[in-house]
Structures are given as C-alpha cells and as structure tokens.
C-alpha cells in the first residue's frame, strides 16, 4: 500500500521546534538518579525490551549477541547469525558484522514469548523464550533484498510485526553515507506471522529507522532520520493509507518506543548543528563532503555527540524533553528510551553501557 504524504501541521511543527529549543531539563537535576550499566567487551546496546514477566532488559550488541540484564550481570540469551564464531565474542569491528550479525531493533510478542529482532545483515529474525540461535523469518520484500534492517514493533493483539529497512543501497557500516547521500530507498513493512508474508506499506523513505504502533493500533510512527522527521502512517479510520507529518525535530531521530500510557519516546541520536542541517538540505554540499579525504573529521566536528530524549502525546504534543547539559556524559549518542514502571532505560548504538534513570 502506498501512502500519500499530507503536510497539515507545518506551523505547529515550527512552533514545537521553537518550544523544544527553549525547554531544557537540566541534566544536573537528574544525575542523582542516573547510573550506567556497563557492558564489558562489545558496544552498542541499540534497542531494549522487557519480556512479559518484566525480566531484562534484553538488548543486541555489536558482536551479534542478545544479552539479558539479570540485576547484577549481563547473561547471554541469543545470537542472530548462524555463522557466529568465537572471533565474534566481544567484537566491535564493523567488518565482522556481516558474519557475526548486528541486532538492532528488538521487541517481544508478549503472548508467545518470542523476541523479534531486526538484524542489520540477517533481516527479520525471531528467537523463542529459551533463547539460542534466532530463526530467520524474512530477508526481502517484493523481490528487493533487505540491506539495513533496523526498527521493529509488534501488534500485541494479532502478532503482526512492523519493521523498517533503512536502505536498499547502503549497509549499516555505511549508515552515515546513506544519510548524507540523500538517497530514499528506505521502506516500512509488515510481517504476517500466520501467512509468513511480508508486505510493503511505505517506500521511498530517507533512511527509515525506528517504528512504533499506537496503543489502539490505528497508526504507525516511523522515524525518517535523514530529514529529522517523525511520520505518521494511518492503518485504520478515514485516513487509512495516508501519511502525514507527526513531528519535525532538531536532530536525527533513531528509535521510537511507546510507553504504557500510549505516549511515545523518541531518541535523537544527535542534535543537528548548522553544518549538518545545511548539508542535509543541499545535495551539492553532501556530495562535496563525501569526496573529501577528511570527511570523518568534518562530521565529528560538525555533529554534537550529546543526544536528546523527547516524549510525545498521541497527538504530537511535546510532553517532556531530556537534554544532556553535562558535556555528553549522560545522554551520549542515545538510540532508544524504554520506559517501565517509572524507570527509563537508555540505549546507545555506540556506547558500552545502558543508561538508567529512576524517577
């Protein structure tokens, strides 16, 4: 199904950005309740999920493993690659990712206990409640192979799985170039566990990333990282099949997670400064940066490392902003916020720890 993009809230989005930039919750007020749960060896606990018994969180890391937090230590739970070998253990070498696997988005089907995983190289996979080697469920849609499987969410009523493929051109190790190049091959898809079929809901997205289903299952939110937008795709009702702007953001959105109240946490991996904003909007600037031998240095200088966590209502109203004012020590390159019983679990695609806020 193709979605027709409807921009109906431009003025509201601009006002929201102004409000966001003026609203800052000082990190120093929260530090007393903030701790880090270190992960020794691999890095990048990108996405987090708790099972139906409240255990966890579970998270995928750079060496292809799924780990489970057991209150005092991390325990091995699963792997996503059938080619995983001892050289993978503890690795953060991106050249090994296509061998070891790189799990990104994770979400449980609470009824079955199955953990669904979007692995950047092995597609949509799932593993049962006992863990072990994940089963590969889908690697392509409509004859087009996945190249960077990324975000995932589940309809807990019928088991439908919604997930994204960020690009059909670039793999995860080249994700920044996918964003800077301006290419739009990202897709939002649905996997039906009964028929085992994949259908494409949206295509032509500029680095499709996190995805979250609304509490009443009437719409999906999907992060379009390269444009700093959250888009809403209607599944039911009079707007079914249409796409609209949900939020224009002052940074690059990663994952989206819904809390028990039906609100959405959006993790902005970085705030975009003037150079990234200018570069993303101008194709000749993007091409020029990609041709420079010192392009990595430019990106490191241009993009601030600290992130922002934003909580939205179902209507797109900004309810809360957590911004790091501690030189990146608290919200450093965050990728996801998972809220459970007043606790915020904070993921990152590059850091060797999971952040923990207790309210």
Q: Is the pLDDT of residue 186 over 70?
A: yes
Average pLDDT, the chain: 85
Report domain extents, the chain. 4-358
Contacts of 204 (CB under 8 A, 6+ apart): 184, 185, 186
**Assigned CATH class of 4-358:** mainly beta
Supply the pLDDT for residue 18: 37
Mean pLDDT value across residues 139-164: 97
User: Quick one: pLDDT band at residue 285, thresholds 50, 70, 90?
Assistant: low
Helix, strand or coil, per DSSP, at residue 14:
helix
Q: Please tell me the pTM assigned to this model.
A: 0.86
What confidence tens digit (pLDDT) does each residue in 224-277 have? 999 999 999 999 999 999 999 999 998 899 999 999 999 999 999 865 543 444
Each as own residue / partner, the long-range contacts of residues 66-71 (CB below 8 Å, 24 or more positions apart, any chain) are 66/103, 66/106, 66/115, 66/117, 66/127, 66/131, 66/134, 67/39, 68/131, 69/37, 69/354
């Amino acid at each position: 199904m193709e979605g027709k993009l409807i921009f109906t809230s431009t003025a509201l989005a601009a006002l929201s950005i102004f409000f966001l930039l003026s609203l800052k919750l000082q990190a120093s007020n929260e530090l007393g309740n903030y701790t880090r749960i270190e992960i020794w060896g691999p890095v990048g606990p990108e996405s987090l999920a708790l099972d139906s018994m409240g255990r966890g969180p579970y998270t995928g890391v750079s060496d292809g493993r799924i780990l489970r937090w057991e209150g005092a230590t991390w325990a091995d739970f699963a792997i996503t690659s059938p080619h995983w070998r001892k050289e993978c253990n503890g690795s953060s070498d991106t050249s090994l990712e296509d061998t070891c696997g790189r799990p990104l988005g994770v979400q449980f089907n609470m009824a079955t206990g199955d953990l669904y995983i979007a692995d950047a190289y092995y597609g949509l996979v799932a593993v049962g409640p006992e863990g072990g080697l994940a089963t590969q469920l889908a690697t392509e849609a409509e004859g087009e192979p996945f190249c960077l499987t990324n975000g995932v969410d589940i309809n807990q009523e019928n088991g439908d799985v919604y997930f994204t493929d960020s690009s059909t051109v670039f793999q995860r190790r080249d994700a920044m170039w996918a964003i800077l190049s301006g290419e739009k091959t990202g897709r939002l898809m649905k996997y039906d566990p009964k028929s085992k079929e994949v259908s494409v809901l949206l295509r032509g997205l500029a680095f499709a990333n996190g995805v979250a289903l609304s509490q009443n299952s009437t719409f999906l939110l999907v992060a379009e990282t390269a444009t700093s937008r959250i888009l809403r795709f209607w599944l039911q009702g009079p707007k079914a099949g249409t796409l609209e702007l949900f939020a224009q953001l002052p940074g690059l959105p990663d994952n989206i997670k819904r809390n028990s109240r039906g609100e959405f946490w959006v993790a902005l991996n970085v705030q975009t400064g003037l150079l990234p904003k200018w570069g993303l909007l101008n194709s000749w600037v993007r091409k020029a940066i990609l041709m420079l031998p010192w392009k990595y240095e430019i990106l490191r200088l241009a993009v601030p490392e600290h992130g922002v966590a934003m909580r939205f209502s179902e209507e797109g109203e900004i309810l809360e902003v957590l911004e790091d004012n501690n030189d990146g020590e608290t919200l450093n390159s965050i990728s996801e916020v998972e809220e459970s019983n007043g606790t915020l679990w904070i993921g990152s695609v590059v850091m060797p720890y999971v952040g923990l806020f207790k309210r």
